[in-house]
Chains A and B, each alone.
Chain A
Amino acid sequence: MNLKNITADKLVALYRNRDLSVTEVITSVFDEIDRTDNQVRAYLTLCRDRAFEDARRIDAKIAAGEELESLSGVPVAIKDNMALKDVPTTCASRILEGYTPPYTATAVERLRAAGAIVVGKTNMDEFAMGSSNENSAFFTTRNPHNLDCVPGGSSGGSAAAVAAGMALVSLGSDTGGSIRTPAAFCGVVGMKPTYGRVSRYGLVAFASSLDQIGPFAKSVRECAQVLEVICGFDHFDSTSADVSVEPLLRDLDQPIKDIRIGIPKEYFIPGMDPEVKSRLEKCIKTYEDMGCRLQEISLPHTEQAIATYYLIATAEASSNLARYDGVRYGARKGGDSGLNDMYRKTRMNGFGKEVKRRILLGTYALSAGYYDAYYLKALKVRTLILQDFRKAFDQVDVILTPTSPTVAFRIGEKTSDPLSMYLSDIFTITCNLAGLPGISVPCGRNSAGLPIGMQLLANHFQEALLLRAAFNFERAFLLQ
C-alpha cells in the first residue's frame, strides 16, 4: 500500500469491502516511515502503539459489520503544537521538554471521532515561528522533492509527511502562511480556514488573533473532507465562530463558470521568480478557459503587510509565551537565587534564537513610549488591509495569487538574515491579518522539478466556494 496512490475515500471503501484491513495499512505506513523518515525527518514523535490499537479496534468494527465513519482508518499526522492526550507536545522547543498534555485539542478530537488514526506528531519551526522549518530546536525537516531544500514552514513536517506518503492527510496551523507555504513547497494542498472556523482549543498559542488550524492533503477533495470534520463552533474556544458550516463536499464538483476572480496587481512584484510567474499566468488561463471572469484588482496596502504582521504577531507572541517560565510547563532551570532567577534561566536556556528575537521585538513594540508608534499603528494599518479586502470582495468572489514568490529554497540560504526570511511571507500574510480563508494548490513544477503553488483567497466563511474553485482548477490542471 503506497499512500501516494490512494485517496481517503478509496481507502475507506477498501476497508468497507474488506479488501484491506486497517492493521495492514498502518503496518505499511510505519514501514514507509522507517524507510523514508531518516532522510525527510518529518516526525518528532511516533504513536506506533496507539495507532495499532486504534487499527485493531476499527478492524473489529468492520468484522462485526458496523458502519464506518468518514475517516475510519485514515492515517493522519498532527503538527506538534496541538495537544494529544498522553503524548508529548513539544512545539519543537526545548522549553516544553517533558510536557505531556492531559487533554486532546478539539480539532484532533474531532478527527479521532471520525475514525482517523494519529500516526505521529510532526516537526515545525519552534512555536511556529519560521518559514522554513530550520528553527526547530531538534532538527530540520527536508523537502521530499529535494532533500537539500527546506519543506517550508512552519508546518513543514505535516506537509512533508503527506508529500512523502508517510501520512494520508495531516493538520497544521497557519499564523502568517505556515500551512500554505509548506504546501506550495512540498507540492500538496494546504488550507487555512477563516479565523474562528476551526477551534483553537488545544493549539499552543503563537499569535491568538491570527492562528488557525487547517488540513494538508494530496487533493482538494480530501482537504475538504478533513475540514468538514474539524470545523465548527466549540465552547472551549471563546473566539470560535458560531456560524453555520455549509456542506463542503456536496457542491465541490459544481461548475464555476461566471465566478469573478481578482488578480491583485500588487502581488505580481518585480522580484518574483520568473518560473513562478509564468506558471501563475497559466493558472489564470485555466480559469479563463473554464468561463470565469478574471479582472485586475488592487490591494493598496499589501506593501505594509509584512511590517504590520511582524509587529502584531510578535506583540501577541511575547504575551502568549510569557507563560513558559519554568513553573507550569516542561523544563525548569535555575531557581537557587529565587523565582526571577528561575524565570530568566529557564527562558534563556529553553527558547531558541528566533523565538527570543521575536519575544524581544514584541516586548519592544508593546513597551511604554513605543506602544503608539508600533503596536497601535500596526493595528490601524490592519484595519486598512481589511478594508482593501472588503472593497475587493465587492467586485470579485475569489482572489488568485502565487503562494510564494519562489520555490523551496536551499537549507541555510536565508538563516543568517531574519528579515529576508520574513519577506518570503509576502503573499500569505495578508490573509491572516484579514482573517480570510486561503488555500494553496499545486500548479506544476519548475525546471528543477520543485513544486509551485497557486493561492486562492475568498471572503470570510466562504470555504465552500474556495474549495469549489480549487477543485475545478485541480481537475482541469490534471487533464492538461
Chain B
Amino acid sequence: MFGLAPDTILIKGPRIIDPGRGVDEVGDILIRDGVILASGTISPDDIPEDCRVVEAGGLVASPGFIDIHCHLREPGYEYKETIAAGTRAAARGGFTSICCMPNTDPPIDNSAMVEFIRQRARDEGIVRVFPIGCVTKGRKGKELSEMEELAVAGVVAFSDDGDPVEDPNLMRLALTYSSDLGLPVTNHCQDLSLSRNGVMAEGRVATRLGLPGIPSAVEEAMMARDIALAELTGGRIHLAHLSTAGSVPLVRQARERGIPVTAEVCPHHLTITDEWVLGGQATGTGTGESFAYDTLTKVYPPLRGQQDVNALVQGLAEGVIDCIATDHAPHELISKLVTYQDAPSGISALETALGSALQLVHGGHMSLITLVERMTVGPARVLGASFDHLSTLAPGTTADIVIFDPDLEWVVDPNEFQSMGKNTPLQGATLKGQVVATMVQGRFVYQDGAVV
C-alpha cells in the first residue's frame, strides 16, 4: 500500500511523546522497513552508518494522529473532496489514520462500497483510510444494514452519520446485533423533532440574529437515550462530537456505572463559540469588514457558548471524553455563499486540528502528553485493539509518526489547504503549532511543507 521504506531512517533529537508508554523524553527514533526499531536513547553503535538522518531537535515526535470521524465525500461528492485530496489534507494535519463516514452517494452500506473505498485509498490515498459502515440500509433509519458483511469487508465502526438513528427500538437492535462484532456504533446525537429547523445554537446570539436555534437538550436527550440503550444491550456506543456542557456529566456517569460508552469532541467545539456567528463584532453587525452570518461558522452540532467550551475542555482533560475527532466536512465554497439557513454545515478541519487543539496546551488546560494521548491512544481505544500498533512508538510497531513544532505560529490560509474544502471560520486566524512531517509505515508522506 505505502511501499517499503528504501532505507533506514533516524529521527534525531526530538522530544518523543508516546502516551501509551508514558514516554515524554528527548531521544531518537530509528526506523527500518516501515517498523520502529528503537526509540528513546539509542546507542550510536546501534545506528547504521548509511541511515538517513532527519534532524528533529526542538520538535515533538509522537505516534501519528488518528481521526475517527471525517468526511472524504467520495463517491458522489467529488466536487467537495476526494480520497486523494482528503488523505493529503490528513497528512498535512499530522494524521496517519483516518476513518471516513458513510454519508457518500451511494452510502457505504454494503461490502462492494467498502471495497471501493479501500481500493481508492490504496490507489490514491497517502495515509491509512478506514471506512465506517452504515447502521441502516441507505442511512434511512428503517432496516439494519448487513453489519457482519460490512465488518468482514473492513469497516471499523457503524454510523448513519448526520442522520441519527431516530427510532429508539432500531437503535436498540443495532446495538444488540452488533455486540458480537466488536465494533462500536457511533451516533450523531440530535433529536430532530426538537432541533426542528434550527441552524445554530439556541441562545442570545441566535435570538439576536433571528436565526432558528438548536437547544442543548437536542444533544443531551438523545445521548441519554443512547446511554440507556447501551446499558440495556451491552452494545458499544460511541458518542460523536459532544458540543454541550450537559453532555459531559452524562458520559461521566455512564462510565462510572460501567456502561460501554466512548466519546469524542471536535477542535472547533473546544476553541470557538457561537459569538463567531456575529462576525467577531458583538456591537454592530454591519460595520467595517466584519459581517455577521458568516456561513463558515455553520456546523452541526453548532458552535455553542463559552461555558460549553470550558466544560468540554475539562471533560477532555479529565479523560471523560476519549478523543479529539475532526469531523472534517469539506464543502465547495460556492455552497457557502448563500444565506445562513441555506448553507450546508461543516468545517474543513484536518489541517487546523493540531493548531486549534494546541490552544488547550498553550492555555494551560492540559499537558502536551495528554493532548497527544487524545489524538492517538484515545481514538485507538475507541476503535479497538487492532489499532494499538498504530498509536505507539514501541519498538516493533508500525512507523506511523508525526513530527510537529508546538510553538510555530502560522496564519490560516485556506488556499494552502491540501483539502478541496476551503471552508473554515479560522481563515486569517493565527494558530500556534504546526505539523513539520508525517510518516506512514516508515515513509514520509508530508515533509517541509509539501506532500511527498
Do A and B come together as binding partners? no
Interface residues of A (CB under 8 A from B): none
